Amino acid sequence: MPQISERGKQMPESPIRKLVPYAEKAKKDGRKVYHLNIGQPDIPTPEVALNAVKNIDIKVIEYSHSAGNESYRRKLAAYYQNIGINIDYTNIIITAGGSEAITFAFKTCLNIGDEVLIPEPFYANYNGFAVAAGIVIKPIRSYIEDGFALPDISEFERLLTPKTKGIVICNPNNPTGYLYSKDELLKLREIVKKYDLYLFSDEVYREFCYDGNEHFSVMQLEGIDNNVVLIDSVSKRYSECGVRIGAMITKNNEVIKIAMKFAQARLSPPSLGQIVGEASLETPKSYFTEVYNEYIERRNFVVEALNKMEGVFCPNPKGAFYVIARLPIDDCDIFAQWLLEDFSYNNQTVMLAPATGFYSTKGAGLDEVRIAYVLKKEDLKIAMECLEQALKVYPGRKN
């Protein structure tokens, strides 16, 4: 029998989706499962985007340009210019979601064996992208007691080796909801400039910044234009996760030139998705105001409910739509599975994301879970009741 590749064996399993069979079994058994495990908003997709698909007037769904439709890239460049990011449409490559944008960026900028520094906990799929690109992630621990603030720059310098070629951040952060400040990003700029590193910034949650805090993009950092690669996506901004349209953006012309080889090798990004993405740029401001207010209300409710539970601690995030909470439990993986296999409250239960999947450091996050507040408040209320009752009877509860 032929052997499976070592790379395939190293490819990590999704810490979120690995629990799906248990959730499916719970549903077949008649239990209602409240999904707080995945960043799939229940917010309606903008009408202008849906109408673009309903009223499509083409005879053939053709390949697009490998970099994406020029009309879309030009409108997208105008969107960025309106928020203080001065780029041209030629600085953009449209991709099949933010995932492909990250993969292109890693494969373009980094050699096999190169290292990137990432504050942890971090988006679990970065591990998979790193394995696919043959690079090594070096985590830098951030802590729940600090709200998962950016670790001190000395921690970055301590981990630097001759193989270190980049830093990766997600801002606002998935899974913590932390919003990096301008001051924190200015500190990152200095280390990027000093050691001539790439700075990869995943900014797909840009619209979701709370409490009067404004988003500051790495593209607005002066003096490191050739070092910065921005990752973006329509998935969260417009509640279009299934559209699979993202973008890799940089002012480094050589990076664009080389990334285009990868873009050409996969031919083109999704044509129908680009139609949706382009139409979405016409979304009225009222849509974002309504969505913003909805998420603020959900965040406030979830954070307050969690912190009222005995033995639970949850910092108040400034962005995205996630929280990481510390629970009085022995092992979050066991707890998350137990919720789906063995627990029921009024024939209901919740599905959470074990935080261990967002850490590279072994043993980190054992008593933490990520909760996505992507359900309507009525559902969140029941889900929090379920969680509170579950913590009272969980066999592995810690006092």
Instruction: Give the domain CATH number at 262.
Output: 3.40.640.10
Q: Give the model's pLDDT for residue 331.
A: 97
Instruction: Give the mean model confidence (pLDDT) for residues 81-90.
Output: 97
Q: Does residue 131 form part of some domain?
A: yes
The answer for residues whose C-beta is within 8 angstroms of residue 227's C-beta and 6 or more apart is: 192, 193, 196, 197, 198, 199, 252
Q: Are 343 and 230 part of one and the same domain?
A: no
Q: Are 142 and 185 part of one and the same domain?
A: yes
| pLDDT over threshold 90, residue 158 | yes
C-alpha closest to that of 324 among 91, 87, 194, 143 = 143
Last-in-domain residue among 263, 280, 297: 280
Of how many residues is the chain composed? 399
Q: Are 276 and 293 part of one and the same domain?
A: no
Instruction: Give the mean model confidence (pLDDT) for residues 295-318.
Output: 98
Q: Does residue 36 form part of some domain?
A: yes
Q: Are 213 and 362 part of one and the same domain?
A: no
What does the mean pLDDT of the chain come to? 96
Q: Give the model's pLDDT for residue 225.
A: 98
Which domain covers residue 123, as residue numbers? 58-280
Q: What is the pLDDT of residues 42-54, one digit of tens each?
A: 999 999 999 999 9
Q: Contact 159/138 with Cβ under 8 angstroms?
A: yes
Instruction: Give the mean model confidence (pLDDT) for residues 217-227.
Output: 98
Tell me the pLDDT band of 231, cut-offs 50, 70 and 90.
very high
Q: How far apart are the first and last CA of the chain?
A: 51
Instruction: Give the mean model confidence (pLDDT) for residues 208-234.
Output: 97
Q: Give the model's pLDDT for residue 16.
A: 74
Q: How many CB atoms lie within 10 A of CB 134?
A: 15
The answer for residues whose C-beta is within 8 angstroms of residue 183's C-beta and 6 or more apart is: none
Q: Are 104 and 118 part of one and the same domain?
A: yes
Last-in-domain residue among 218, 251, 280: 280
Q: Does residue 398 form part of some domain?
A: no
Q: Are 258 and 186 part of one and the same domain?
A: yes
CA atoms within 13 A on the CB side of 80: 28
Instruction: Give the mean model confidence (pLDDT) for residues 311-340.
Output: 97
| pLDDT over threshold 90, residue 388 | yes
Q: How many CB atoms lie within 10 A of CB 88?
A: 12
Q: Are 127 and 265 part of one and the same domain?
A: yes
Q: b or e along 309-348 (b: 16 or more beta carbons within 10 Å of the residue's beta carbon)?
A: beebbbbebbbbbbbbbbbbbeebbebbebbbeebbbeeb
Query: Looking at 6-20, 26-40, 61-75, 322-336, which range is the least confident one?
Result: 6-20
Q: Give the model's pLDDT for residue 295.
A: 97
CA distance 225 to 220: 9
Q: Contact 10/293 with Cβ under 8 angstroms?
A: no
Q: Which DSSP letter does residue 345 get?
A: B
Q: Give the model's pLDDT for residue 181.
A: 96
| pLDDT over threshold 90, residue 242 | yes
Tell me the pLDDT band of 238, cut-offs 50, 70 and 90.
very high
Last-in-domain residue among 254, 280, 306: 280
Q: Give the model's pLDDT for residue 267.
A: 98
Q: Are 23 and 64 part of one and the same domain?
A: no
Q: What is the pLDDT of residues 350-380, one digit of tens each?
A: 999 999 999 999 899 999 999 999 999 999 9
Q: Give the model's pLDDT for residue 13.
A: 81
Query: Where in 149-190 does DSSP place strands (E)?
Result: 164-170
Q: Does residue 227 form part of some domain?
A: yes
Q: How many domains does the chain have?
A: 2
Instruction: Pick the more confident residue, 13 or 383.
Output: 383
pLDDT above 90 coverage of the chain, percent = 97
| pLDDT over threshold 80, residue 90 | yes
Q: Give the model's pLDDT for residue 399.
A: 77
Q: Give the model's pLDDT for residue 17.
A: 79
Tell me the pLDDT band of 15, cut-offs 50, 70 and 90.
confident
Instruction: Give the mean model confidence (pLDDT) for residues 92-106.
Output: 98
Q: Are 248 and 221 part of one and the same domain?
A: yes
Q: Give the model's pLDDT for residue 190.
A: 97
Q: Are 232 and 315 part of one and the same domain?
A: no
As beta bridge partners, residue 137 has 116
